[in-house]
Amino acid sequence: MISMGSERRRLSSGLGSMPNTDPGESVPAVRVCGLEYRYPDGKEALRGIDLTIQAGESVAIVGPNGAGKSTLLLHLNGLLPGKARGTIGHAHTLGGELPARGRSAQPSVWIDGLAVNQRSAAEVRRRVGLVFQDPDDQLFCNTVIEDVAFGPLNQGIRPAEARRIALECLTQVDLQAEAERLPHHLSFGERKRACLAGVLACRPSVLVLDEPSANLDPRGRRRLIALIQGLSGTKLIATHDLELVLELCPRTVLLDAGQVVADGASRAVLGDATLMDAHGLEPPLSLRYASAGTGMRRSSLDPPPA
Ligand code: ADP
């Protein structure tokens, strides 16, 4: 089984040193410091995000629509929102206005200690595997196997080896029989798994998933959860599927209006009915109700009956 890369070395890029890390300290897989982002139309999407994720952690990013989850994920691999696959740009600041065109911004995101910016973009993309919410944003080749082999080929791996890796990853997501099919002839769930295979083929150290279970039927959802559960490495999952969070992520970060409003154990964050309500969410059913003998009983999270 292919697992995500586990290389953990301090990268000396000379492109911006990461704040608050002692030489003896292990380098976090993801470090975000005071990240702000404003879309070209003026919409302020991120307003000073601070986040540290250690190697091997599985962390959920939750929040209401428009909270900034997708925008944050796009920053982790240097993809400028709204640009086509492979187009790299970065426009974040440590505060104040966006920098003028051509003026360099202070880095606000580090992956394995490597500052994310235009110069590091290729290496960052190799390390951070982003699975988009909509598989059609990610699949573009004539066959499934070509799509999955695209990343390794792009990394300079020879075609025969890239194809071998692609087939291995397709087997991992149980799509080996579909290797020669047109990606757009696959079902939605199969296309999602093909995207995951394409990302795994690049052996990322950080796997980033945007709404992995959205639009999947129950069987497809369970299958994807089991797949994700079986992967080692650092995982970041933005989702509205809070039951999935409880299964996959011990830690949850709650975003609202471009800011981190809570960061802690998933059961504590998601089980806090007042906090969840204040940010347009509800505790997941499994925390509200626990099955007891013959039926369901109310948990202490619910207000007492009138
Ligand atoms: P979430 O993923 O939590 O739903 P997003 O990151 O998609 O939130 O959006 C955060 C904010 O940025 C929202 O107010 C949204 O309207 C805005 N936004 C997202 N994409 C764009 C875009 N391409 N141009 C302008 N504003 C955008």
> How does the average pLDDT of the chain come out, rounded?
81
Q: Report the atom number in ligand 1 closest to the C-alpha of 258.
A: 10
Pick the CATH number of 30-281 from 3.40.50.300, 3.40.50.9100, 3.30.9.10, 1.10.3720.10: 3.40.50.300
Q: What 3-state class would DSSP assign to 62?
A: strand
Q: Report the atom number in ligand 1 closest to the C-alpha of 73.
A: 6
Q: What is the maximum alpha-carbon separation in the chain?
A: 69
**pLDDT digit string, tens, across residues 236-264:** 999 999 999 999 999 999 999 999 999 99
**pLDDT digit string, tens, across residues 159-178:** 999 999 999 999 999 999 98
In this structure, the residue with its CA closest to atom 22 of ligand 1 is 39
Model confidence at 77, in pLDDT bands (50, 70, 90)?
confident
Residues near ligand 1 with C-beta < 6 Å? 39, 41, 43, 45, 63, 65-71, 81-82
Which pLDDT value is given to residue 15?
A: 36
Q: What is the dihedral of CA 148, 152, 157, 159, to 10 degrees?
A: 10
**What are the distances in angstroms from CA 213 to CA 70, 94, 224?**
15, 33, 7
Contact 166, 132 (CB under 8 A): no
Sequence ranges of the domains in the chain? 30-281
C-alpha 121 – ligand 1 centre gap (Å): 22
Which pLDDT value is given to residue 118?
A: 82
pTM of model > 0.75: yes
How many Cβ atoms sit within 10 Å of the Cβ of residue 303?
Answer: 8
Q: Which of 43, 44, 253 to mutate to test the pocket of ligand 1 (most atoms within 8 A of CB)?
A: 43
Q: What 3-state class would DSSP assign to 20?
A: coil
Residue 114: is its pLDDT beyond 50? yes
C-alpha 198 – ligand 1 centre gap (Å): 26
Model confidence at 80, in pLDDT bands (50, 70, 90)?
low
Residue 49: is its pLDDT beyond 60? yes
